[in-house]
Structure 1
Amino acid sequence: MKNFLSYTKKYKKEFILAIICIETETIFELIIPMIMSNIIDIGVANNDRSYILLKGFQMVLCAVISLLLGHACAKYTAACGNGIGAEIRMAEFQKMQTYSFENTDRFSTPSLVTRLTSDVTTIQNSVTNGMRPAFRSPVMMITAIVVSFMINAKLATVFLIAAPILAIILFFIIKNVQPLYSRMQSAIDLVNRIVQENLTAIRVVKAYVRSDYETSKFEEVNSNLQTSSEKAFSLSALNMPAFQFVMYGTILSILWFGGDLVMIGNMKVGALTSFLSYVLQVLNSLMMFSSVFLLFTRSLTSWKRISEVLDEDPTINDDRAKDIKVTKGSIRFEHVYFKYKETAKEYVLSDISFDIKPGQTIGIIGQTGAAKSTLVQLIPRLYDVTAGDIYIDDHPIYEYTQKHLRDSIAVVLQKNTLFSGTVKENLYWGKEDATDEEIKRACNIACVNEFIDRLDNGYDTDLGQGGVNVSGGQKQRLCIARAILKAPKVLILDDSTSAVDTATEAKIREGLEKALPGMTKIIIAQRISSIMHADQIIILDDGKINAIGTHDKLLTDNEIYQDIYYSQQKGGNLS
């Protein structure tokens, strides 16, 4: 609760004002039955019309004040609930931004989306809809019980029977509904996962004519969500009929015994009417209180899921960082080992050692699954090494802040990602304040200029979500241009020219050498033509370095390199 309350501080004023409005409104509503009792027992009994009109005016005034307070209460609770929801959502999103790849691997993407949207909405609605009954029902219940005992203590003992029955019903419902809410939120995760997968890979689904299969897969998880929701809500819905049964049973008992008291003259009709009004308020307050408990039960499930995200410690931090900068771009691996999980039996990378001088171009090649991408992701600390050390400019990479380290290294990942927005807005990711001249220069190097004029609005063309309006090769060139705009000390191209032809690839390579001669470049490629001009080529085989050397040396001495070279030569992939 301490963690949750920390998100309410900003809306403390609205919270307090809402409580004041709720309690004041409740007091005015509780006064109305007392006035009504006086109207019947005094005004009607004595045929005093002026007294009846006066008390009637007082009742209307109390009702109008209650209405205005209720409106103010709704305004403040909405501001409070939605504000707290926004604060939690922002805190959750900011926390996710600090995660390393290892952290995000522990949560599935659809689950994080659910925790950021559905779970936060549940808490938001619980505050907005639960605040009024939560603070209103205790005051109403206690006040109504006290007044009821003041009116007739003997008749009020009916509460001593009704209250335990209601408490038992509420305990049974909450005990059984809580695990169902947890299953329901997990079912939402699964639905989101299928939807996300289907929309992301919609072209593949269409190409393989798998719409029916995807529909049946979605139907399964959708039915699972439906079943989980039905069980949870059908059980929680028992709250209302069960409470109404007890409530009407209590009213009948009071009418039975109260009628006898009126008949023998121990109680007036007005007092019985007023007593019944307070009984209804007590029972209604108990029903409201039970609804609050059900809201709290569901929101507690959601808060636990959100807390897992907020309490997750980033595996990569700046605890050992110093005030130093990357100036040259030299890189050294010393006996580096890596595995994705500590419990994994085998290392993904084993005993990796090599040295890259500033300004050198290094090629990395190997079979699929040789851990080439994993190796370069260790340099900007997207993952941390399991053992060994990586040095940049003779400093361990953990001595640089993550922000500066990643600002100094531009990575064009194997999976090219463009964001919704214009071409220019995507390029600004490389440099926020880039001038048009700088953008054109970077685009010339990356050969974006070859197709930019063919787009509808040039640099102002809207790319759509994920860059759906451009081809794979165009997307790769835009990502390379974005990286060049950073003017990094180290540029990593992870198979980033696989979708462009060899002639365009050669132009990009020449452009990089001429325009950015002092930049260290690491190129992962499947084609030898992409790296044959590199200063050094590293051959990775099953997570280990098989050989390091120039193209000519490896072609003479290394069997793996020879096999790749001659197979590609036969396939016409070398130029």
Structure 2
Amino acid sequence: MLALLKYLKPHRLSIVLILILTFISTLLELLLPTLMANVVDVGIVNGDIPYILRTGALMIAVSILAIAFTIAVIYIAAKVSLEFGKSVRRDLFVHIEHLSLESFHQIGPASLITRTTNDIKQVQDVLNMLLRIMTRAPLMLVGGIVLAVTREATLSLIFLVALPLLILVIFLIARKAIPLFTTLQQRTDRLNLVIRESLTGVRVIRAFNRVDDDRKRFDEANEAFRDTGTKVNQILAFLFPIILIIMNFTSIAIIWFGAVRIDQGLTQVGNMMAFLQYAMLILMSLIMLSITFIMIPRAQASAKRIQEVLEFTAVIRDPEVETSDRGKKGWVELRKVTFRYAGAERAALRNISFVAKPGETTAILGGTGAGKSTLVQLILRFYDPESGTILINGVDTKEMTQKKLRQKIGYVPQKVALFAGTIAENIRFGKPEATDEEVLEVLEVAQAIDFVNEKEKGIYSMVQPAGGNLSGGQKQRLSIARALLRKPEIYIFDDTFSALDYQTEAKLRKALKRFIQDRTIIYVGQQIRTVKKADQIVVLEKGEIAGIGTHAELLRENKVYQEIVESQHEKEEGTYR
């Protein structure tokens, strides 16, 4: 938790102000029992009405000031804690955005969501409590003890029994409850994971009639969270009754022995009343400290989880000095690239070399698990190769910033990602300043204009989260239009046409050829019909290049390609097309 305290530096003046106001309000509260004692011992005993009125008016003024300062402390503490939460949440989110995909998947989206929301809220709430209580309670405790002992040293011996007993109870309960807070956060992670998977996979769950099983899975996670939370609260539930019992017996002891001393003429009624109030302030401050000490471990567990994410170092980093393009535009070259996923025994790609040139179409063909999507992610620099070099415009991708690299590429992913908003907002994702005319142009090229125009609001029709109100083919076409709008140097289509029928695909290819004829195009696919008209086809098998050439060349000379064609029934009149 200490590592997160750096986020309090901008609020140093506010924290100092909280300390000052808390100190003043605490002194004013400690003054009230003394004033009350004077009213009883001086004003009432002597029948001095003017003294009673003056002291009573002073007590009212002191109370109003104490309340005003306390309200100010609560307001400033709340503001500081909320600003703290906002800063941590923003930095955590930005850091997550820059994590490598490997780190991202290692922690998991569900856990990252919990850490960005629930964990930060836990730390934020405890910080708010600390600013209000951890400054007030020690002052109240020390000040109350000093004033109580000053007034009645003999009665103060009661604290030698009450305080150790109270501290022992708090320690025993805290020792039981604290380990459960970490477990509770882990249960929250699990519950979020189950909910997220259930919601995103709702179609699959229903299609396979696994609704009851999924409900059972949710119930297990939910009940585990409930049981842990219940156990924590059951333990904490013992705290307040026991504390109240100790406080009440302490009050009884003070009144009992105080009455004896009054009867013996050793003290006055007002003095005992003041002592009793100081005793209650001492015990209440100890209770406030105990609540804080119990809540701190939960915040520490959350802070540790936040810090774990912040300490993940970005594997993919921008260079300190960027290298300019070397007179080339749209050139993609891979030189003996090898890549292995973390923990994998076998490399996903081995010794990959080829060149994709502007004005030409390069197709990457291979079966499932051949390494096609991995190759695309390397070009986009979502990962860095284990060995070898990837060049864009003659420059190693490690020598240019990620922003500049990705500005050169229009990427259409295999799994379409659309966001809640209008169609126009989704298309403008890569070029926010684009006009409506530009949006309509790329929609026409992507063969999406017809279904967009059928909607009541056209390009300003709403898209549900993840494109829930669109078909697979519609989502793919919008994804293509989004990439086209940027008009980059390089286009990468990762198995983009899988949800399109032959007729739509043919129209789309024809329109694409006119629209991006001078750019570098890389197609990734498994179907021969998708790649056979490419200028060069790179055939991958088990992470290695099995052949490079045109459709005709590979059909004559490459056995792997022939087998792929044959498996897809591309024979005609005894020869391969």
Alignment of 1:36-185 (within 5 A): 36-185=36-185
Residues 341-366 of structure 1: CA distance to partner in whole angstroms, max 9, x if unpaired?
A: 1x332212122222222332111111
Check the 8 A contact 1:443/1:481 in 2, yes or no: yes
Tell me which residue corresponds to 2:383: 383
How far off its partner does 1:252 sit? 2.8
SS state of the match for residue 419, structure 1? coil
Q: Which amino acid aligns with 2:122?
A: T
Tell me which residue corresponds to 1:289: 289
Tell me which residue corresponds to 2:335: 334
Q: Distance in 2 between matches of 1:240 and 1:297?
A: 19
Q: Which amino acid aligns with 2:244?
A: Q
SS state of the match for residue 6, structure 1? helix
Q: Distance in 1 between matches of 2:138 and 2:320?
A: 53
Check the 8 A contact 1:43/1:51 in 2, yes or no: yes
1:438 aligned onto 2:444 = no
Tell me which residue corresponds to 1:364: 364
How far off its partner does 1:519 sit? 1.2
Check the 8 A contact 1:122/1:298 in 2, yes or no: yes
Q: Distance in 1 between matches of 2:118 and 2:359?
A: 49
How far off its partner does 1:165 sit? 2.8
Check the 8 A contact 1:330/1:356 in 2, yes or no: yes
1:217 aligned onto 2:217 = yes
Greater CA drift, 408-417 or 176-185: 176-185
Q: Distance in 2 between matches of 1:78 and 1:328?
A: 54
Q: Distance in 2 between matches of 1:174 and 1:351?
A: 58
SS state of the match for residue 388, structure 1? strand
Q: In structure 2, do the counterparts of structure 1 residues 227 and 423 end up closer, same or farther at CA, with 3 Å as the change threshold?
A: same
Tell me which residue corresponds to 2:462: 462
How far off its partner does 1:169 sit? 2.9
Q: In structure 2, do the counterparts of structure 1 residues 293 and 2 end up closer, same or farther at CA, with 3 Å as the change threshold?
A: closer
Check the 8 A contact 2:323/2:395 in 1, yes or no: no
Q: Which amino acid aligns with 1:291?
A: I
SS state of the match for residue 523, structure 1? strand
SS state of the match for residue 441, structure 2? helix
Q: Which amino acid aligns with 2:147?
A: V
Tell me which residue corresponds to 2:556: 556
Residues 389-446 of structure 1: CA distance to partner in whole angstroms, max 9, x if unpaired?
A: 2122222110111110011112111110010000111111121111222222222221
Check the 8 A contact 1:102/1:315 in 2, yes or no: no
Q: In structure 2, do the counterparts of structure 1 residues 208 and 425 end up closer, same or farther at CA, with 3 Å as the change threshold?
A: same
RMSD in angstroms over aligned alpha carbons? 2.0
Q: Which amino acid aligns with 2:178?
A: Q
Check the 8 A contact 2:358/2:521 in 1, yes or no: no
Q: Distance in 1 between matches of 2:502 and 2:384?
A: 34
Greater CA drift, 230-239 or 531-540: 230-239
Q: Distance in 2 between matches of 1:144 and 1:445?
A: 79
Alignment of 1:211-250 (within 5 A): 211-250=211-250
Check the 8 A contact 1:92/1:309 in 2, yes or no: yes
- TM-score, length of structure 2 as denominator length: 0.95
Tell me which residue corresponds to 2:395: 395
SS state of the match for residue 322, structure 1? coil
Alignment of 1:419-498 (within 5 A): 419-498=419-498
SS state of the match for residue 352, structure 1? strand
SS state of the match for residue 7, structure 2? coil
How far off its partner does 1:2 sit? 5.3
How far off its partner does 1:152 sit? 1.5
Residues 178-202 of structure 1: CA distance to partner in whole angstroms, max 9, x if unpaired?
A: 3211111111111111111111122
Q: Distance in 1 between matches of 2:571 and 2:39?
A: 102
Check the 8 A contact 1:22/1:69 in 2, yes or no: yes
SS state of the match for residue 434, structure 2? coil
Greater CA drift, 129-138 or 241-250: 241-250
1:187 aligned onto 2:172 = no
Q: Distance in 2 between matches of 1:518 and 1:168?
A: 79
Q: Which amino acid aligns with 1:221?
A: A
Q: Distance in 2 between matches of 1:13 and 1:466?
A: 45
Q: Distance in 1 between matches of 2:173 and 2:541?
A: 59
How far off its partner does 1:340 sit? 1.8
Check the 8 A contact 1:178/1:301 in 2, yes or no: no
Alignment of 1:251-330 (within 5 A): 251-319=251-319, 321-325=321-325, 327-330=328-331
Q: Distance in 1 between matches of 2:224 and 2:501?
A: 47
Check the 8 A contact 1:130/1:295 in 2, yes or no: no
Q: Which amino acid aligns with 2:478?
A: L
Q: Distance in 1 between matches of 2:87 and 2:73?
A: 21
Residues 498-541 of structure 1: CA distance to partner in whole angstroms, max 9, x if unpaired?
A: 11112222222222222222211111112211111111111111
Check the 8 A contact 1:119/1:302 in 2, yes or no: yes
- Unaligned regions of 5+ residues in structure 2, if any? none
Q: Number of aligned pairs?
A: 573
Alignment of 1:497-536 (within 5 A): 497-536=497-536
Q: Distance in 2 between matches of 1:238 and 1:384?
A: 55
Q: Which amino acid aligns with 1:461?
A: S
Q: Which amino acid aligns with 1:330?
A: W
Q: Which amino acid aligns with 2:258?
A: G
Q: Distance in 2 between matches of 1:571 and 1:524?
A: 22
Q: Distance in 1 between matches of 2:486 and 2:15?
A: 46
Q: Distance in 1 between matches of 2:210 and 2:303?
A: 37
Check the 8 A contact 2:38/2:270 in 1, yes or no: yes
Q: Which amino acid aligns with 2:293?
A: F
Q: Which amino acid aligns with 2:146?
A: V
- Unaligned regions of 5+ residues in structure 1, if any? none
Q: In structure 2, do the counterparts of structure 1 residues 212 and 386 end up closer, same or farther at CA, with 3 Å as the change threshold?
A: same
Check the 8 A contact 1:430/1:483 in 2, yes or no: yes
How far off its partner does 1:450 sit? 2.9
How far off its partner does 1:241 sit? 2.6
How far off its partner does 1:42 sit? 0.9
